[in-house]
Amino acid sequence: MDHLYSSVRHDLKAPIDVLAYTKENIDQVIQNYIQKISSPSLKICFEKMQIVEMGEVIRIKVSSQLDRQTILNETAWLDELRNKFNKNDIQLAIEVEESAPEERPAQRVKLTEQDILEIMIKRNPLVSELVKIFDAQ
């Protein structure tokens, strides 16, 4: 029993593997985290983000509001950063690039009846025969 107790005490005294707080190490921790992600969309979001500045606040640039919200909702990677660097005061500031175009759906053009008929004839030339038959009546 004493042997078990001494091995547990030895494990508790083992040094914690703390990384130096550098941009390269932050990038490496993030890359390791990306490898663990199973969601393709989440993985792409993390691969696209850019670290702009680091300190107590890590500034990150993303290309859309959706990416910003996705990164804010995924908290496990920030916990991993805090643990790897033994810095519980790490915070995030996520900026959306101003040069990024706004995400909005493409506007549809309203087609006229003649446009629709031409499209139908291109897809199936027999439609023109039907038009001739009905116009003759």
Q: Token pair for residue 75?
A: 């908290």
Q: How far is CA 70 from CA 14, 39, 43, 96, in A?
A: 36, 12, 10, 12
Between 19-23, 89-93, 121-125, the lowest mean confidence (pLDDT) is in 19-23
pTM score: 0.55
Domains present along the chain, CATH in parentheses: 2-96 (3.30.300.180), 106-137 (no CATH)
pLDDT in tens, 10-61: 444 444 567 788 888 888 888 999 899 888 888 888 888 888 888 788 899 9
Mean per-residue pLDDT of the chain:
81
Between 14-23, 42-51, 81-90, 106-115, the lowest mean confidence (pLDDT) is in 14-23
Mean pLDDT of 101-129: 82
Number of residues written out for the chain: 137
CA dist 59 and 62 (Å) reads 10
